[in-house]
Amino acid sequence: MTGRIIPEHVKRTQGRAADPEISAFVSANAGSGKTHVLVQRVIGLLLRDTPPEKILCITFTKAAAANMAERIFRTLGDWIVLDDAALDARLRDVGIAHPDTGTRRRARELFARALETPGGLKVQTIHALCTRLLQQFPFEANVPAHFTVLDDRDQADMIERASRRLIERLNLVPFRDVDIVLTNVAIPDQPFTGCGAEVARRIGSGASWVIDLHNTGCVSFVAMLALARMLLRTTTARGALLCNVQNAAGRVFAHPAVRSTSQAPVPGDGCGVGYVTRSNVSPLLALVQHCHPEFANDMAVAASDGREYWEPGLTPITIAFTEQRVASIISRGNRLVPDAVREVCAEAHVRVPELELLVTNQPNPIFVRNWREALELPAHKHHDTFDAYGNLFGAALPINLEAAIAEGKLANGGLVALAGFSHAGDYSAAAVLSWPSARGSD
């Protein structure tokens, strides 16, 4: 993959804005390089011997703060291992016209200096700054001396943080490249509006299709693949962002009155995103999905006092399965996923043993093992993260796929099957993709 070619006049403008010797006000579209300019400005200050603890960067969101800090430390870390010629080129990019031996030495020391700064390099939201000031001067502000701030990251924050990494990795321009936003969130912040529109606003997308999926649960990533494929085939859309958030662990299962239930120790929270785009040759070889409405009522949101979840009450809600049908739910769960994988492989004209990787949802280790054994696949071909994250519901598929890629399981490419079932078995789906090798995708 090659980066975008930035016109020289744009580089000059960015260079002027990044010059720490002048004050600058920058107004530009999303994806145009504002964060890059801020990072270059901070690095320029550090190269001019400004103590790291004297620098304060303010952003509006935690995702933006994390993104900026990650870029700064990645740049400074890269400088440590560059040879003199390569480092000189990087230094000229940040306004050091004639790097010398002393400049190179200071540049290679910046990573350690920034890491060792008491309190860390301050890249934070305005909320974090205000919190720090209140904690330093509690009596003047008339607040408790040891107050804490509840940190309940909403789903838009989680999606934005994951999306920023993906956008940077793929070199996307959201306003141009993301015109479909699909989301699936376990416990939505807003039951009526969803979070898709807010996600589009935060990443700077000009999306004309924003759809918040309420159903399909643990296999929603495959359902979104099917929906994205249909929209890309039948509209002028160029690309779709697929967003999964599992947040039921912290919001439901962590409640003291719920933690003692049998299902409470299993869930974990997480967010996974993917991007698909229009192309002449699709890596999606086949996709199957089935609705099993006869199983829809075997799982429900319930409260111990018998009230409906929207009614006021003093007891917490939890996600429960019909007790008398637990055995049949386990039986159908063991069957649905292998059946879906066999069906999609047959439609793609491949044999199950030819799969290089199987990625599924992960309700518990028993299901994961049973599915693998039913398909007669070796353990190394079925990647899961249950031991690290627990049951990630719909977020498991994109998170597990990325984890498998990071471990090099698709370095040589191959056939990948995504599969799972949702809730008590009311929905099952699977897809087969032809994954390119890491060498072929560069």
Mean pLDDT of the 262-278 span: 86
Cα diameter, the chain = 77
What pLDDT sits at residue 120?
66
Residue 359 within a domain: yes
Residue 190 within a domain: yes
C-alpha span between 215 and 293 (Å, rounded): 12
Q: Is the pLDDT of residue 3 over 60?
A: no
Stronger pLDDT, 260 or 352, i.e. the higher one? 352
Mean pLDDT of the 234-256 span: 88
Encode pLDDT of 109-151 as tens digits.
Answer: 888 888 777 666 788 888 778 878 887 888 887 766 665 554 4
Residue 148 within a domain: no
322: pLDDT confidence band, cut at 50, 70 and 90? Answer: low
Buried b (16+ CB within 10 A) or exposed e, 256-283: eebeeeebbeebbbbbbbbbbebeeeee
167: pLDDT confidence band, cut at 50, 70 and 90? Answer: very high
CB 189 within 8 A of CB 160: no
Structure tokens at 306: 């018998």
* Same domain assignment for residues 234 and 357: yes
Encode pLDDT of 352-375 as tens digits.
Answer: 999 999 999 999 899 999 999 999
Mean pLDDT of the chain: 86
* Same domain assignment for residues 47 and 134: yes
CA distances from 288 to 337, 343, 347, 385, 398 (A): 11, 7, 9, 24, 18
Q: Is the pLDDT of residue 212 over 90?
A: yes
* Same domain assignment for residues 128 and 228: no
Residue 441 within a domain: no
User: Closest Cα partner for 179 from 153, 201, 144, 205?
Assistant: 205
What pLDDT sits at residue 357?
97
220: pLDDT confidence band, cut at 50, 70 and 90? Answer: very high
Q: Is the pLDDT of residue 2 over 70?
A: no
* Same domain assignment for residues 191 and 229: yes
What pLDDT sits at residue 225?
97
Residue 91 within a domain: yes
The last residue of one of the domains, among 118, 141, 164, is 141
**What one-letter code names the amino acid at 250?**
G
Encode pLDDT of 400-440 as tens digits.
Answer: 999 999 999 998 999 999 999 999 999 999 999 999 986 44
The last residue of one of the domains, among 83, 117, 141, is 141
* Same domain assignment for residues 220 and 363: yes
* Same domain assignment for residues 253 and 112: no
What pLDDT sits at residue 29?
75
Stronger pLDDT, 173 or 48, i.e. the higher one? 173
Encode pLDDT of 8-41 as tens digits.
Answer: 777 777 778 778 787 888 887 777 778 888 888 8
What pLDDT sits at residue 440?
44
C-alpha span between 161 and 181 (Å, rounded): 15
* Same domain assignment for residues 104 and 198: no
CB 221 within 8 A of CB 397: yes
C-alpha span between 319 and 316 (Å, rounded): 10
* Same domain assignment for residues 296 and 345: yes
C-alpha span between 401 and 314 (Å, rounded): 40
Q: Is the pLDDT of residue 441 over 50?
A: no
303: pLDDT confidence band, cut at 50, 70 and 90? Answer: confident
Top-confidence range, 46-55, 87-96, 379-388: 379-388
What pLDDT sits at residue 410?
94
What pLDDT sits at residue 94?
81
Residues in the chain: 442
Q: Is the pLDDT of residue 177 over 70?
A: yes
Q: Is 414 left (phi over 0), alpha (psi -120 to 50) or beta?
A: left
Structure tokens at 117: 């700064």
* Same domain assignment for residues 295 and 248: yes
The last residue of one of the domains, among 115, 141, 167, is 141
Structure tokens at 265: 């120790």
Stronger pLDDT, 258 or 170, i.e. the higher one? 170
Q: Is the pLDDT of residue 105 over 70?
A: yes
Residue 147 within a domain: no
* Same domain assignment for residues 83 and 171: no
178: pLDDT confidence band, cut at 50, 70 and 90? Answer: very high
58's CB contacts (< 8 A; 6+ apart) are 124, 125, 126, 129
Stronger pLDDT, 343 or 280, i.e. the higher one? 343
Q: What share of the chain in percent tops pLDDT 90? A: 45
Residue 164 within a domain: yes
Domain with residue 93: its CATH number is 3.40.50.300
What pLDDT sits at residue 271?
94
* Same domain assignment for residues 115 and 73: yes
Residue 350 within a domain: yes
* Same domain assignment for residues 389 and 253: yes
How many domains does one find in the chain?
2
Q: Is the pLDDT of residue 398 over 80?
A: yes
Q: Which of the residue ranges 208-222, 235-249, 300-314 would you say has the lowest mean pLDDT? A: 300-314
62: containing domain = 8-141
What pLDDT sits at residue 1?
40
pTM of the model: 0.67
